[in-house]
């Protein structure tokens, strides 16, 4: 059987990560959250006191990145998302992270990857491509519900502002901007609960594989 490569792309807090995990489980495929890679580089930039202009240092961090530390809860936080999108706009950083992602996608069984440029750059040959989105207000509300558990003072408006800033930066950068691949299936989860979104994603994969 041919390898099954499934690409999930879309903006921040669209639900693509949750859907990707479910599909990876369904098909017993290895899964890679590529946002975590950019988050790890952004986090290292901050911890080492570097700026986005320290390109050679950032490329070195990207080249030598390993998965130890990926379970650091700080990587999932709000600031790390912002730091990630800053370093993700640097073409040399994206280039340094590319080989690992391409190899992960093309392992023998196949794989599920989620990110911004999986269907366009990392695996244009993916078997199934989903572009998962939702209105910014809905994404911000979902993200706020998650974050407020550990940050009770967090305002919804601030989360919405973050989301808008990240959408703008991810969509307007010159290197691998967030765009839907021509052959991707659009899944808009604005009016869908989690169970309904999972059902839609499962059907899309079933019909296309």
Residues in contact with ligand C5P by the rule CB under 6 A:
12, 34-35, 38-39, 81, 84-85, 88, 115-117, 166, 170
Residue whose structure tokens are 């059907």: 203
Q: Is 15 annotated as a binding residue?
A: yes
Residue whose structure tokens are 């305002």: 155
Q: Judged by CB, which is closer to ligand C5P: 146, or 203?
A: 146
Q: Judged by CB, which is closer to ligand C5P: 85, or 133?
A: 85
Q: Is 150 annotated as a binding residue?
A: no
Q: Is 133 annotated as a binding residue?
A: no
Q: Is 140 annotated as a binding residue?
A: no
Provide the edge-to-edge strand list for the sheet that holds 185-188. Answer: 31-33, 110-115, 4-9, 128-133, 185-188
Fill in the DSSP letter of residue 66: -
Round to whole Å and give the CA distance between 118 and 100: 12
Do residues 105 and 5 make contact, with C-beta atoms less than 8 angstroms apart? yes
Q: Judged by CB, which is closer to ligand C5P: 15, or 115?
A: 115
Shortest spacing between CB 1 and ligand C5P, in angstroms: 27
Round to whole Å and give the CA distance between 209 and 207: 6
Round to whole Å and give the CA distance between 49 and 170: 23
Q: What are the backbone dihedrals phi and psi of residue 128, each rounded to the nearest 5 degrees, phi first?
A: -135, 135
- Cβ-closest position to ligand C5P: 35
Q: Is 124 annotated as a binding residue?
A: no
Shortest spacing between CB 35 and ligand C5P, in angstroms: 2
Shortest spacing between CB 34 and ligand C5P, in angstroms: 4
Q: Judged by CB, which is closer to ligand C5P: 163, or 198?
A: 163
Give the bridge partners for 132, in sequence order.
187
Task: Please report, in range form, the residues annotated as the binding site for ATP.
Answer: 10-18
């Amino acid at each position: 059987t041919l390898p099954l490569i499934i690409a999930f792309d879309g903006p921040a807090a669209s639900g693509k990560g949750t859907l990707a995990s479910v599909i990876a489980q369904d098909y017993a495929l290895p899964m890679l959250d590529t946002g975590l890679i950019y988050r790890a580089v952004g986090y290292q930039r901050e911890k080492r006191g570097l700026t986005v202009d320290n390109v050679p240092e950032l490329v070195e961090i990207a080249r030598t990145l390993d998965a130890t530390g990926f379970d650091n809860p700080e990587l999932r936080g709000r600031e790390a998302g912002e730091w990630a999108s800053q370093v993700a706009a640097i073409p040399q950083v994206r280039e340094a992270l590319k080989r690992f992602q391409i190899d992960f996608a093309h392992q023998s069984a196949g794989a599920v990857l989620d990110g911004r440029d999986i269907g366009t750059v990392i695996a244009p040959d993916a078997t199934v491509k989903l572009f998962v989105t939702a209105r910014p207000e809905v994404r911000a509300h979902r993200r706020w519900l998650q974050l407020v558990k550990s940050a009770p003072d967090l305002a919804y408006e601030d989360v919405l502002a973050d989301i808008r800033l990240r959408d703008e930066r991810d969509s307007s950068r010159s290197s691998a901007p967030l765009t839907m691949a021509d052959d991707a299936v659009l899944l808009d989860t604005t009016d869908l609960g989690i169970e309904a979104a999972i059902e839609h994603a499962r059907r899309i994969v079933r019909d296309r594989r």
